[in-house]
Structure 1
Amino acid sequence: MSKIRVAVVGCGSISKYRHIPEYAANENVELVAFCDPVVERAQKYADEYGAKAYTNYEDMLSELKPDAVSVCTPNYLHAAVAIAAANAGAHVLVEKPMASTDEEAAAMIEAASKNGVYLMVGHNQRFMPPHVKAKEILQKGELGKVLSFRTSFGHPGPESWSIDGRESWFFRKEEAVMGAMGDLGVHKSDLIRYLLDDEVAQVSAFIDTIDKKGTDVDDNAVVLLRMKSGAIGTLVASWTYYKGEDNGTLIWCQNGLIKIGTHPEDQIIVELRNGTVERYNVGAIATNDKQETSGVINAFITSIVTNTPPSITGEEGRKSLEVILAAFEAQATGKVISL
């Protein structure tokens, strides 16, 4: 069968570390275009993969008509690029948060549906082996009903990760729209929905810029969640964990506790009320310092090849974004927001 012709829009760090190498490693893919306003960045990859470089995604879409597009731009452009790609007949993989507003998310879903293409959101936490295993353990039911949880994602901020360092778009509100919440918080709202197989019913939050100088995007958030099942818990997103990254989740159930990503070797530790402790070494959670294959690219390509809707649809991405938007509303109004 002929290869899937993929274009990457946005040639920053997420492309460099995840999208481009993972597409290159997939035998079903031909990388045909790279697009970035900084032409040298696009050209570097175009030269490497025998593709074309563009500074304008609309020109690229009309000239090349790719089969699939990865949207790796600053947040404020996610919707515009994704909708243009869908309208050009391309399947779309969009980085998280999928959009800046719920209206944009809805428009993206509508564009994909209208054009008969897939829209997938890059929530890579779902593919990390410890999270897959934790969900399996929870679904077995031996731990009983989930009562409460704590899920946290923090690191020192995008300065060391972003291709532009401290000058990155991550710190400019008009381009980023949101800070740690869009970067990290939305990963955790998606993860908790996935792990618990449950939807968020109510949201309350404190969100602020506490320590990052010269930016008006949030660098810290503590969010209270009540799930439809009645379980309550906290979601934390931070860009000021200067001592190092935390991507841990604790889930307290009737019959015990499950710890995910809290131990350097045993990614999952199950502590039962009867004193039994089970330890699982199932493969790592990716960090900025130690990149693991995300699983996202392969899942996206498999969807297209097998003509099967992706597991992380636009609708899924929209629900996870909705939680974050509700948290901002809760911070702004001082109220508990019901979804």
Structure 2
Amino acid sequence: MNKIKVAVIGCGAIAERRHIPEYASNPNVELIAFCDPNLERAQNYANRFGAQAFANYEDMLSELKPDAVSVCTPNYLHAPASIAAANKGAHVLVEKPMAVSDEEAVAMIDAAANNGVNLMVGHNQRMMPPHVKAKEILQSGVLGKVLTFRTTFGHPGPEGWSLDGAGSWFFRKEEAIMGAMGDLGVHKSDLIRYLLEDEVAQVTGFIGTLDKKDTEVDDNSSCLLRMKSGAIGTLVASWTYYKGEDNSTILWCENGVMKIGTDPHDQVIVELRNGEVNRYNVGAIATNERQETSGIIDAFVDSILTNTTPSISGEEGRKSLAVILAAFESQETGRIINL
């Protein structure tokens, strides 16, 4: 069988820590190109994998014909790069947030459909073992209906994660468009949709820049969500958790509570109203300090090999993005936004 020829567009932290190593360890993949405005970065990978280096994706797409691409660029380029690749007949895996507007998300979905290629969004929280286990428990019905929830994602900020530190594109409004909400909040809007198998109906957002200097992007947000089922809860995204990362979710249900990512040993804890407590040690949620295999790359490759729609499709990415965009609209208008 021929290997899937993959080009990586953007060679920053997420490419370095997740996409490139996970492609490299997949036996069905051949890495053929790396693109980055910092050509030296791209060239280093090209040398390592016997691939070609490009300063931009346009040149790469005009010279090569990759079977698939990973789009790991700053947010404002997610849509243009994805659409250009799809129009060249390449399957697309795009980092989150998939786009910076609903119009862009629709254009990406249309480009993939018109060219008969897959579009997948890198919402890796769905594939973290504790979240998979949590969903399995919810589906078993033991907890009954989810009534209220809180889901949080915070860390000290991109300066510790990005290869460019405090000089990272994450802080440049014209490239990032959104800050902690685009980086972390959209992960949690996707996760809550996935866990509850429900859509967000209403959003209120309080979003601001509280502590990061010399940037116009948000570093904190607290949002209220009402789901179609009636469940209500909070979604928090922060770049100012200076004492360490918190990626936890608590679901209060008819028959008890489920705590995900609150305990260092047991990633999922179920406490039932009858006094029964079940603790599950099912493998960690990846953190910036400790990377875990995300499962995203393998799922993307598998969708190409089996010619099936990726589980985290463009449509799914669009719905998770809509929640974040609604929160910004709420912050601007002071209104509750109906989705």
Q: TM-score range by the shorter chain?
A: over 0.9
SS at match of 1:144: coil
Give unpaired runs (5+ residues) of structure 1.
none
SS at match of 1:298: helix
Q: Which amino acid aligns with 1:226?
A: R
Q: How many residues align?
A: 339
Residue matched to 2:86 = 86
CA–CA distance in structure 2, aligned partners of residues 209 and 106 of structure 1: 29
Q: Which amino acid aligns with 1:46?
A: A
Residue matched to 2:275 = 275
1:285 pairs with 2:285: yes
CA–CA distance in structure 2, aligned partners of residues 164 and 145 of structure 1: 44
Deviation at 1:292, TM superposition (A): 0.1
Give the TM-score, by structure 1 length.
1.00
SS at match of 1:269: strand
Q: Which amino acid aligns with 1:287?
A: T
Q: Which string of whole-angstrom CA distances, capped at 9 and with x for unpartnered residues, describes residues 141-187 of structure 1?
A: 11111100000000000001001000000000000000000000000
SS at match of 1:207: strand
Residue matched to 2:328 = 328
Deviation at 1:63, TM superposition (A): 1.1
Deviation at 1:76, TM superposition (A): 0.2
1:100 pairs with 2:100: yes
Deviation at 1:62, TM superposition (A): 1.8
Residue matched to 2:252 = 252
Deviation at 1:308, TM superposition (A): 1.0
Deviation at 1:56, TM superposition (A): 1.9
CA–CA distance in structure 2, aligned partners of residues 253 and 119 of structure 1: 34
Aligned-pair RMSD on alpha carbons? 0.4
CA–CA distance in structure 2, aligned partners of residues 116 and 66 of structure 1: 15
Counterparts of residues 294-313 of structure 1 (less than 5 Å)? 294-313=294-313
CA–CA distance in structure 2, aligned partners of residues 164 and 216 of structure 1: 18
Q: Which amino acid aligns with 1:105?
A: A
CA–CA distance in structure 1, aligned partners of residues 144 and 25 of structure 2: 41
Q: Which amino acid aligns with 1:115?
A: N
Residue matched to 2:187 = 187
Residue matched to 1:314 = 314
CA–CA distance in structure 1, aligned partners of residues 39 and 63 of structure 2: 17
CA–CA distance in structure 1, aligned partners of residues 215 and 231 of structure 2: 35
1:204 pairs with 2:204: yes
Deviation at 1:279, TM superposition (A): 0.1
Provide the identity percentage.
Answer: 78
Residue matched to 1:119 = 119
SS at match of 1:287: coil
Deviation at 1:59, TM superposition (A): 1.4
SS at match of 2:310: coil
Deviation at 1:128, TM superposition (A): 0.2
CA–CA distance in structure 1, aligned partners of residues 294 and 320 of structure 2: 19
Counterparts of residues 1-339 of structure 1 (less than 5 Å)? 1-339=1-339
Q: Which string of whole-angstrom CA distances, capped at 9 and with x for unpartnered residues, describes residues 289-314 of structure 1?
A: 00000000000000001111100000
CA–CA distance in structure 1, aligned partners of residues 78 and 56 of structure 2: 14
Q: Which string of whole-angstrom CA distances, capped at 9 and with x for unpartnered residues, describes residues 39-83 of structure 1?
A: 000000000000000012111112111000000000000000000
Q: Which amino acid aligns with 1:163?
A: L
Q: Which string of whole-angstrom CA distances, capped at 9 and with x for unpartnered residues, describes residues 202-249 of structure 1?
A: 000100000001101000000000000000000000000000000000
CA–CA distance in structure 1, aligned partners of residues 56 and 160 of structure 2: 27
SS at match of 1:206: strand
Give unpaired runs (5+ residues) of structure 2.
none
CA–CA distance in structure 2, aligned partners of residues 56 and 326 of structure 1: 32
Q: Which amino acid aligns with 1:329?
A: E
CA–CA distance in structure 2, aligned partners of residues 247 and 260 of structure 1: 8
Give the TM-score, by structure 2 length.
1.00
Structure 1 segments of 4 or more deviating over 6 A?
none
SS at match of 2:134: helix
Q: Which string of whole-angstrom CA distances, capped at 9 and with x for unpartnered residues, describes residues 258-317 of structure 1?
A: 000000010000000011000000000000000000000000000001111100000000
